[in-house]
Amino acid sequence: PVAFGLFLVSLLDGVAMERQKFLSFRSGIALRAAIVNAVYDRVLRLTPAGRAGLTGGEVTNLVAIDAQKLFELVQEGHQVWSCPLAMIIVTGLLLMELGPSILVGMTAMFLLVPLVQRIVRTMMTIRRKRVAVTDRRVEATTAMLQGIKFTKLNHYEEKFRARVMDARRDEMALLRRELSVLAVTFFLTVISPVFASALTFATYVLIDENNVLTAATTFTTLILFGALRFPINYAGKLMGKAAQGIQACQRFAAFFSRECRERPSAANDAGSGSGSGSGSDNGNGNINGGKGPNTSPMPPPPAPSEAAVEDTKDETVLKVTNASFAVGDAPSSKGGGGGGDYDDDDGEKSATTKASFVLSNITLSVSRGEILCVVGPVASGKTTFINGLIGDLSPSGGAVDSRGGTVAYASQTPFVLNATVRDNVLFGAPYDPVRYAKVLDACCLLPDLESIGPAGDLTEIGERGVTLSGGQKQRVSLARTCYARPDLAVFDDPLSALDA
């Protein structure tokens, strides 16, 4: 019966252990996936102020390294309660076996805890420095790969290699220090049970001459101390993992504290790609919808009935009220000295630095079905105005209201996915063959599909659209915007790359 009972207990222990590993692994995967999705969502909603100082290497490390550290911590998180419970049970059995003398050994073990905590804090400090160096290395590597053509044409391979290797050298030095400190932590956790058992045996024999260490008592005590080594060892490992996890949480907290735009409603998800920036604008401009020389509102095509026209005009999809957009240094408070520009409302001077560019006092509204054109010379702020409308540039004053509708954006530089032509046009929207065919015909993509390959719209587009010409990429971007059926479509000079 005893042997059969031991067999059942061992079987139950194995099943419970594997079940715990499975649940921990599943929880870790869910946590890592949630964090990666949250980082991706946050990156898309960062304001220009929130993106300031944020590099691609930092975001890459958050997703690839820090999320993995939290995943590993979840694997050991089960030990948070099981290790102390195992220690309490084993301590009780040792008290039953050797009496109060066991307290000497346990005290010696617990006296090592402050030392381990100090070592863990040292390891966190080293890892904080190492992560900063890792960000620098990843950023240099990413910059080289993204600008590989520029790198090759200018023979910058050795310069980039030197930057990467210098960062890697510093990273490896800090990594060796971190692993050395971690090795000291493991050494203390392994040696502490041996040291505690030696003190316990010595105390047990010396406090009373009648205490004799028999074989049964000695081996039972050694087995119990061996059982105590497992939770102690895992406690040390858990402390190391916890230190790395806490550091990762601090980096995530710093990232999520960056300024971002308000989350749009489900109906406000953008239907087209983004990505364009204004040039080095310098000066001030005023754009007043329907009034100034830089705007040319054009009436929509004739509607079937007058009632439909009235209903359409009443539906305002975009309203900008006295908005101002600043690029570079923001203007200071009114009345500050220095040569600046005058505010149109009260004539008071608003000091701006030489590098700043401000679009001020912009008021306009666009109704459903209406076309509004913003016309101006090069570097007059047209793209800056567009960036303000889509939220890539926060207004320094006034308000921009898209009225809860969907918004699609086609930029000067087309955004092309490394996917098929159809996937680039659909951009996650459901496939409607009739509407899809009409969009391809309207955007003159049918001749392009015949020329790019026998697969037609199922042809895979290379990374960043390298297999398409500039005009083809722009037509794909226009088709994506049209297929999205947005309430508001924003075009930033989309015909610049198209043939006449």
- pLDDT tens for residues 148-205? 888 888 888 888 889 999 999 999 999 999 888 888 877 877 777 778 788 888 888 8
Q: Which residues pair with 99 in a beta bridge?
A: none
The mean pLDDT of 59-73, rounded to a whole number, is 87
Integer distance in angstroms from the first to the last C-alpha of the chain? 93
Q: What is the pLDDT of residue 263?
A: 66
Q: What is the pLDDT of residue 35?
A: 92
Higher pLDDT, 57 or 258: 258
pLDDT bucket at 466, cuts 50 / 70 / 90: confident
Q: What is the pLDDT of residue 497?
A: 65
Q: Which two tokens stand for residue 265?
A: 């409603």
Q: What is the pLDDT of residue 173?
A: 92
pLDDT bucket at 236, cuts 50 / 70 / 90: low
Query: Do the Cβ atoms of 403 and 317 come closer than 8 Å?
Result: yes
Helix 157-206 crosses helix 79-98 at what angle (to 10 degrees)? 20
Query: Do the Cβ atoms of 242 and 380 come closer than 8 Å?
Result: no
Q: Which residues pair with 63 in a beta bridge?
A: none
Please report how many Cα atoms fall inside a 13 Å half-sphere around the Cα of residue 285, on the Cβ side.
Answer: 27
Backbone angles phi, psi at 256, to 5 degrees: -75, -10
Q: What is the pLDDT of residue 33?
A: 92
pLDDT bucket at 36, cuts 50 / 70 / 90: very high
- The alpha carbon of 17 is separated from its chain's Cα centroid by a whole number of angstroms, namely 34
pLDDT at 56 over 80: no
Burial of residue 321, with CB atoms counted within 10 A of its CB: 0-12 exposed, 13-18 middle, 19 or more buried? middle
**How does DSSP classify residue 263?**
P
For 205-223, the pLDDT digits (tens) are 888 777 777 888 888 887 8
Q: What is the pLDDT of residue 239?
A: 74
Q: What is the pLDDT of residue 285?
A: 35
pLDDT at 485 over 60: yes
- Rounding to the nearest 10 degrees, give the CA dihedral for residues 195, 200, 202, 203: 140
Q: Name every residue whose Cβ is closer than 8 Å to that of residue 487 and which is 6 or more positions away in sequence.
A: 317, 368, 402, 403, 405, 406, 407
pLDDT at 70 over 80: yes
Q: CA–CA separation, 7 vs 229, rounded Å?
A: 23
Higher pLDDT, 492 or 57: 492
Q: Where are the beta strands (DSSP E) in 402-477?
A: 407-410
pLDDT bucket at 499, cuts 50 / 70 / 90: low
Mean pLDDT, the chain, integer:
76
pLDDT at 464 over 80: no
For 95-140, the pLDDT digits (tens) are 888 888 888 877 877 777 777 778 877 887 888 888 888 888 888 8
Higher pLDDT, 239 or 245: 245
Q: What is the pLDDT of residue 278?
A: 33
For 268-325, the pLDDT digits (tens) are 443 444 333 333 333 333 333 333 333 333 334 444 444 444 444 457 778 888 787 7
Burial of residue 413, with CB atoms counted within 10 A of its CB: 0-12 exposed, 13-18 middle, 19 or more buried? middle
For tokens 């490896």, the residue is: 172
The mean pLDDT of 494-498, rounded to a whole number, is 73
Q: CA–CA separation, 190 vs 211, rounded Å?
A: 28
For 326-378, the pLDDT digits (tens) are 776 544 433 333 333 434 444 444 444 444 677 778 888 888 888 888 888 88
What is the value of pTM for the model shown? 0.54
Higher pLDDT, 258 or 241: 258
pLDDT at 431 over 80: yes
* Three-state DSSP state, 297: strand
* Three-state DSSP state, 361: strand
Q: Which two tokens stand for residue 169?
A: 């050298």
The mean pLDDT of 469-485, rounded to a whole number, is 86
Q: What is the pLDDT of residue 219?
A: 83
Q: CA–CA separation, 411 vs 227, rounded Å?
A: 65
